[in-house]
Amino acid sequence: MPEVKLALLGFGNVGQALARLLLEKRADLRRNYSLEWKAVGLFTRAHGSAIDRHGINLESALDYMARGNPLDKLPIETAPVDALDFIDTCAADVLFENSPVSYTDGEPALTHLRRALEHGMHAITANKGPVVHGYQQLRELAASMGRKFYFESTVMDGAPIFSLWREALPAAELKSLRGVLNSTTNLILTQMESGSTFEAAVRHAQDIGIAETDPSGDIDGWDASVKVAVLVTVLMDQQIRLADVKRQGIRSISLREVQAAVQDGRRWKLVCQAERTPDGMQASVQPELIGREDPLYNVMGTSSAVTFHSDVLGALTITEEDPGPHTTAYGLLADMLNAVVQGEAPAARAD
Ligand SMILES: NC(=O)c1ccc[n+]([C@@H]2O[C@H](COP(=O)([O-])OP(=O)(O)OC[C@H]3O[C@@H](n4cnc5c(N)ncnc54)[C@H](OP(=O)(O)O)[C@@H]3O)[C@@H](O)[C@H]2O)c1
């Protein structure tokens, strides 16, 4: 297999975790998939960018980022002027798009992914925005170019959701789903069960790096809603807008209510749901008081879980523990392998 040329647009928490994982897995990929790779481009908004068709040393790039040195000071061929110039110039086979999410229009990631596909690259992202706002067009463009548009890490990080439905559940029809899909709110509710105030629990989530400086995207249910919209759009083949997901966050739940629930053998969870009904798609994100019999009862801390009901199987639940940029990076790596080795695995495996 020829060497695969990789471009990482977005080299923050996720992009850097992907770089570390690529380095860690280099020997495995060579041995098990005869796959060689080189990074030909790295892009950040304010920390420099780099293009080099001979390959960029990722250890040095990670070291530069850790020291706060801009990437364009690496020994490289050229530095792009902006993100589109980066995509036009880097001549990669695979673009990983990991820029910040935009709930409102999916940009600029949507434009980045479209441009990469137009250049004949596989387009892979952990960014939910372009899936909600451009799934159909990106899927059709990818098909017309004979390339893949994959986004495993957009929901439950590296846990296999989309590849499971794509590869392992042919002809199954998803009827409904229900889950806990936002780590930050689940951690906050777990902390409140142990007596933390809401504010202290938010600070804890920020201290361990899972909540942003402005945590409202999680607390007010936006992140969970956009994940529901992604799942419905892709797995139920029904394009829905973020506004179609009935949304309520966890701000209104008091410490007293959380602790009273615990006394009563119950728990508050921010529950995500979607269901095909005779009246159309019903999708929601809202706090629910649930009992011990509920499969979501033991989903604690940063863990998440989703239960699928299909026309062919009973309840099928996937749970993920200890998520973070490293698990998100695995979803991206798996997407890359599925895109470039597809049709050849497992025969392509050397074992
Ligand atoms: N963190 C996770 O565990 C996780 C899990 C699942 C999905 N995701 C998704 O993965 C994506 C990346 O997350 P992250 O945690 O790595 O974010 P991050 O640490 O903020 O990194 C974002 C990267 O994108 C660059 N960037 C910012 N604005 C840009 C723009 N307009 N055009 C191009 N690049 C831009 C940033 O450059 P500067 O730093 O120079 O601004 C940085 O390199 C997000 O869409 C997020 O929702 C993250």
Among 99-103, 193-197, 209-213, 319-323, name the one with the lowest average pLDDT. 209-213
Which residues belong to the active site? 227
Q: How wide is the angle at C-alpha 165 spanned by C-alphas 160 and 171, nearest 5°?
A: 165
Whether 350 shows a pLDDT value over 80: the answer reads: no
Going by pLDDT thresholds of 50, 70 and 90, the confidence category of residue 351 is: very low
- How many A from CA of 101 to the centre of ligand 1? 7
Q: Is the CB of 16 under 6 A from ligand 1?
A: no
Q: Is the CB of 99 under 6 A from ligand 1?
A: yes
- How many A from CA of 201 to the centre of ligand 1? 24
- The per-residue b/e assignment along 135-156, b for 16 or more CB within 10 angstroms, e otherwise, is beebeebbeebebbbbbbbbbb
The Cα–Cα gap between 291 and 93 comes to: 49
Helix axes 128-145, 222-235, angle to 10 degrees: 30
Residue 49 contacts residue 42 (beta carbons within 8 Å): yes
Q: Is the CB of 328 under 6 A from ligand 1?
A: yes
Q: How far apart are the first and last CA of the chain?
A: 15
The Cα–Cα gap between 343 and 215 comes to: 42
Tokens of 276: 């095909």
Mean pLDDT confidence for 77-97? 97
- How many A from CA of 171 to the centre of ligand 1? 35
Task: Return the pLDDT at 1.
Answer: 59
Q: Is the CB of 11 under 6 A from ligand 1?
A: yes
Chain-wide mean pLDDT for the chain? 94
DSSP string, 84-119: HHHHHHH--SEEEE-PPP-TTT-TTHHHHHHHHHHT
Q: Is the CB of 149 under 6 A from ligand 1?
A: no
Residue owning the nearest CA to atom 18 of ligand 1: 12
